[in-house]
Structure formats: C-alpha cells, structure tokens
Amino acid sequence: MKALVGKQYAIGTLKKFEILERHLQAFMLEKHKVSDVEIKEINHAFINDFEFYLRTENSCANNTAIRYLKNFRKIIHICLNLKWIDNDPMFGYKLKSKPVERPFLSEYEIQRIAQKQFNTARLLQVRDLFLFCCFTGLAYADVQKLKLSNITKGVDGYHWIFTNRKKTNIRSAIPLLFNKVHGQLKGSRP
C-alpha cells in the first residue's frame, strides 16, 4: 500500500491501516501475549474479542470500531483472494454503523468566525481557508491543490472554479460570487 500512495491509495488510507495494525498488535500482546498470529488462526472469536478490545480498552465509539473492523475485513478478503485462507472468519459478522447527525454552522457562527481577529498571519490564513471551504463546499485537500488556472469564465459569462475533487476525481463547478478583498471580480455576480 505504501508503494501505491499517490497512485492507487491516499496517504490517509495508509495511515488508517497503520493505526489498525497498531491496534491489532496491542490487542494480540494484551489478549494472546504474542506480537503476531498466523492468518489461519484468526476466527470469529478472535474478531469478536478484537471488537470488544476496541470498544473497552481503546474506548472506541461504535462507528470508529466498525471502521477498523471494515478495514480488517478488507485485509481478510485479500488473504482469501491470495488463497492464504480457505474460509472467511468474518462471514456473517455484522458491522453496522450508527447514523451521526452533524450540525451545520449557523450564519451567526460563520460571521463570528469571519470577524475573529488573530495576532498571527498563519491563524488568519487558517481562518480564511476554513471559511473558503465552508462557502465553496470544497474539502481542504481540494483547496490545497487549487491554482489560478482553475478559475475561468463559465458559459454564463461569470467566473467559476472548475476542479476535479481529489477523493472522487469528480468534476466540480463552483460559481464565484464576490471577492471581498479585491472588490468585485470582472464578470462576477453582484
């Protein structure tokens, strides 16, 4: 996976699997007093004990524990495909995430953030990037790779940001409404 970062995997994906590896090693040391086990020794009970360990010793919330187990399942499927194991030890193992309600920032909260003054240029830049992400709907990773060439006139004659999203590679078109720092952009909406 490390060799395929930037080609097939994101660095964040690699980090998630490295964290899973650390949790598995800590679990095996604590529960089985070993640093490694043969893949053929992993069974339903092992996975059940690992999930219990994640929820108790690591205090993982439901969705965090489920995310680790889903990544573990991916490794199990690789082992199955390579014929390192004959049976899926996770067959029938239910992994159910709970819906999480994430509240939106109110207009008042966004205004407070926009008006907040900081003593360092770095924090001012962080604030501005955060607000830019809020107003465009772009993730930080997408904003980080933006170039001036991503701003072009659309078919409506107004300026737009055209970019492919980093995670999905899906094309995004975001209208520019107003540039507060430099005044109104030519061809921008009033």
Question: Is 113 inside a domain boundary?
Answer: yes
What pLDDT sits at residue 189? 52
What pLDDT sits at residue 186? 47
Question: Is 87 inside a domain boundary?
Answer: no
Where in the chain does DSSP place strands (E)?
151-153, 159-164, 171-175
* Same domain, residue pair 109 and 51: no
* Same domain, residue pair 113 and 49: no
| Distance of alpha carbon 175 from alpha carbon 177, whole angstroms | 6
Question: Is 89 inside a domain boundary?
Answer: no
* 3-state DSSP assignment of residue 93: coil
* Same domain, residue pair 152 and 132: no
pLDDT in tens, the chain (190 residues): 888 887 777 788 889 999 999 999 999 999 889 988 888 999 999 999 999 999 999 999 999 999 999 999 999 999 999 999 999 999 988 898 898 888 989 999 999 999 999 999 999 999 999 999 999 999 998 999 999 999 998 898 888 999 999 888 899 999 987 554 444 444 445 4
What the block records as the tokens of 49 is 């004990």
Q: What share of the chain is helix, strand, coil (3-state, %, to 5)?
A: 50, 10, 40
Question: Is 91 inside a domain boundary?
Answer: no
What pLDDT sits at residue 32? 87
Domain count, the chain: 3
* Same domain, residue pair 58 and 117: no
Residue with tokens 């899926």: 88
Q: Following DSSP, what letter does each residue of 143-182 receive, concatenated?
A: HHT--GGGEEE-TTSSEEEEEE-TTT--EEEEE----TTT
pTM score, two decimals?
Answer: 0.66
Separation in Å, CA 8 to CA 4, 80, 167: 5, 21, 11
Residue 90 CA, chain-centre distance (Å), reads: 24
Where in 30-179 does DSSP place strands (E)?
151-153, 159-164, 171-175
| Distance of alpha carbon 182 from alpha carbon 179, whole angstroms | 6
Question: Is 95 inside a domain boundary?
Answer: no
* Same domain, residue pair 66 and 132: no
**What range does the domain containing 169 cover?**
144-190
What the block records as the tokens of 155 is 């078919």
What the block records as the tokens of 158 is 């107004």
